[in-house]
Structure 1
């Protein structure tokens, strides 16, 4: 028989406890429950936001991106492209030219990120689901067409498929020089194309990007055989990590090969850091809520001095007395944590299923806050509660084990 646990359960359930001790114990349980539930909910929201970022960028991101380690662009020839296409796991290879350019439409203009793409880009991207007209063709009837971000379209009031009002793209000639010609006709390269469709992916891209044919970008920017990146779609039967390592061996140290997470490492790292600080903050809140356990145990030790003396007289060791009061604190924390976990998981489940809490923004790509529960969050929360419970219970338990028998009988 586990005597310390039996006595601890008896003390926890006792209806004869002094009223103030009972009230403080109940407050302790409620505080732990609320803190635990809040921690589970907030961590799940951060998990959901991380998944949302991956989902949004996944609509336009390739599996792997090859770029130069130094400089903005690198030369591409048939030999290099053939070697890369022949690499195990490379299902599709897309050539990309990306740079800033000036976009003019009627009397309005803005600087945009122009991304020139070879025709097979849309074979490896899930962007079709984000297109308004569902037409990703960048070449139609021998003419060049652009797919513009929703924010760019709104800013310039662009009308789709209007062949009487083309888009004008301008790029500085000899862009590497520090000065430009004062003659506008000599200072900029100028090309025209038409707006064919609009994409809605995420705000940053929607407000600044425009997709154009690769040949159009070559003419406007004067890049020739240079490319700013190569996009790789990995075959379904291959692991992305394995193909990434193989391409790094082929290309050598002058190139970088990045997977989807590495392409947005700063954003994902920021979310993880925020999640860590939120966990630490809520752990401190749990610690403050658990201080009531310290006070209730301290008062319980004072109230049960005679009982402790009797137990010692009957042969109970200091270790058993100490363990008894540690278990009382553990039971209080466990009950509160159990209710908090159930409540937090329930709230997260209903949020996932029914979207109870809205984002509150008409322009948001999702209607409600995304949540994703992870077992690791529950485990870390439980570990934090165990550590905090031990920290606040150890002192009263030590005081109980050092009481003098003669003075309290």
Structure 2
């Protein structure tokens, strides 16, 4: 028989007239429940945002990107392409040229991020599902078309397939060792093409990106056989991580191979750091809420001095007394934690199922706040509650065990 637990349960469920100790205990349980529920909900929201970022960028990002370790571009040769394509797991290889350029339409201008893509790009990207207007094709009847972000279209008031007013792309000429000419016709390379489609992915890309044919980017930038990157689609039966490691070993230190998360490491790292600080903040709030357990146990020790003295007189050790009051604190925290976990998980499930809380923005990609529950978050929250309960309960329990027998009988 576990005597400390039985006595602790008796103290917790005592049917005596309600007093200040029971009121503080109830407040403690409510505080732990609310803190636990809030922690589960907030961590789940951050998990949902992290997944949302991956989903949004996954519409245009490849499984793997190969770039030069040093410099902005690198020379692409037939042997290099053959080596990459022969690597197990490489299903599709797309050549990419990306750089800033000046886009002009009528009398409006803006600097955009131009991405030149080879014809097979849309075989490995789901961006065609994000086309809001027009067509996703970059070539049609030997005519070059641009795929522009919705923000770029709005900024320049672009009309699709306007043959009378095409898009003009300008890029500074290579003037190494020469003085830059003040004549725009000599200072910039210029190419024109039609706007064929508008995509809507996420704000950063929508407001700055323009996709063009690879041959168009080659002419405008004068890159020849140089590329800024190679996009790799991994076969369905292969693991991305395994193919990434194989390519890194095959290509050596001259090239960097990045997976989807590594392509946006700063953004994802920022979300994880924010999640960590939020967890620490809510853990402190949970600690403050649990201080009521300290006060209720301290008052319970004072109230039960005679009971403690009787237990000691009957042969109970200090350890049994300490465990008894630790058990009372554990029961109070456990009840509050279980209620908080049930409420937190229930609210997150309801948000996933019914979208109770909306983003509140007409331009939002998703209607409701994204949430995703993880077992690791629930376990981490439970561990935090255990540590906090021990921290606030141990002092009153020690005081109870040190009670002087002769002064309280």
Tell me which interval the TM-score lies in, with the shorter structure as reference length.
over 0.9
Q: How does 1:61-140 map to 2 (within 5 A)?
A: 61-133=61-133, 135-140=135-140
Aligned to 1:194: 194
In 2, the alpha carbon distance for the partners of 1:353 and 1:370 equals: 11
Map of 1:143 onto structure 2: 143
In structure 2, the residue matched to 1:26 is 26
CA deviation after TM superposition for structure 1 residue 86, in Å: 1.0
Deviation of 1:118 (Å): 0.1
Computed over aligned residues only, the root mean square deviation of the Cα atoms, in angstroms, reads 1.1
SS in 2 for 1:369: coil
Residues 172 and 180, structure 1, Cα contact 8 Å, conserved in 2: no
1:134 and 1:330 map into 2 onto residues whose CA distance is 63
Is residue 134–residue 196 contact of structure 2 (8 Å, CA) maintained in 1? no
Q: 2:179 & 2:220 partners in 1: Cα distance?
A: 19
Other-structure match for 2:60: 60
User: How far off is 1:276 after superposition?
Assistant: 0.5
1:388-409 deviations in Å (ceiling 9; x for gaps): 0000000000000110111111
Paired position in structure 2 for 1:222: 222
Q: Any conservation in 2 of the 1:128–1:134 contact (CA below 8 Å)?
A: no
Deviations 1:271-317 (A, max 9, x none): 11100000000000000000000000000000000000001111111
| Pairwise CA distance, 1:133 | 3.7
Partner SS state of residue 16, structure 2 = coil
CA contact under 8 A between 2:122 and 2:128: conserved in structure 1? Answer: yes
**Could you say which residue in structure 2 is the equivalent of 1:309?**
309
Which residue of 1 is the match for residue 323 of structure 2? 323
| Helix, strand or coil at the partner of 1:287 | helix
Q: Deviations over 1:134-163 (max 9, x none)?
A: 622101111100000000001001111222
For residues 166-191 of structure 1, what are the alpha-carbon distances to aligned partners after superposition, in whole Å with 9 as ceiling and x for unaligned?
10000011166685211111001110
Distance 1:26 1:178, change over 3 A: farther
Partners in 2 of 1:393 and 1:407 — Cα distance?
A: 24
Unaligned runs of 5+ in 2: none
Contact 1:351 1:357 in 2 (8 A): yes
> Deviation above 6 Å: which 4+ runs of structure 1?
none
Contact 1:329 1:389 in 2 (8 A): yes
Whole-Å Cα distance in 2 between the matches of residues 53 and 176 of structure 1?
A: 40
Aligned to 1:154: 154
User: 1:204, CA displacement in angstroms?
Assistant: 0.2
Task: Decide whether the 8 Å contact of 1:95 with 1:118 is kept in 2.
Answer: yes
CA distance in 2, matches of 1:47, 1:124: 26
1:176–1:119 distance in 2 versus 1, CA, 3 Å: farther
Q: Distance in 1 between matches of 2:56 and 2:189?
A: 33
| Equivalent pair of 2:153/2:198 in contact (CA under 8 Å) | yes
Q: TM-score, length-normalised on structure 1?
A: 0.98
Do residues 340 (structure 1) and 351 (structure 2) align?
no
TM-score, normalised by the number of residues in structure 2: 0.98
**Structure 1 Cα separation of the partners of residues 269 and 55 of structure 2:** 16
| Number of matched pairs | 409
Q: How does 1:326-405 map to 2 (within 5 A)?
A: 326-405=326-405
Q: Is the 8 A contact 2:134 2:160 kept in 1?
A: no
Aligned mates of 2:144, 2:333 — CA distance in 1: 67
* SS of aligned partner of 2:257: strand
Distance in 2 between the 1:235 and 1:171 partners? 36
1:254 match: 254
Q: Is the 8 A contact 1:151 1:208 kept in 2?
A: yes
- Give a deviation string over 1:354-401, Cα, whole Å, max 9, x none: 111111111111111100000000000000000000000000000001
Offset at residue 15 of structure 1 (A): 2.2
Distance 2:175 2:215 in 1: 19
Once structures 1 and 2 are overlaid, which stretch shifts more, 216-225 or 168-177?
168-177
Distance in 1 (alpha carbons) for counterparts of 2:17 and 2:242: 64
Q: Distance in 1 between matches of 2:96 and 2:263?
A: 15
Q: Which moved more, 1:354-363 or 1:46-55?
A: 354-363
State the Cα distance separating 1:327 from its structure 2 match: 0.4
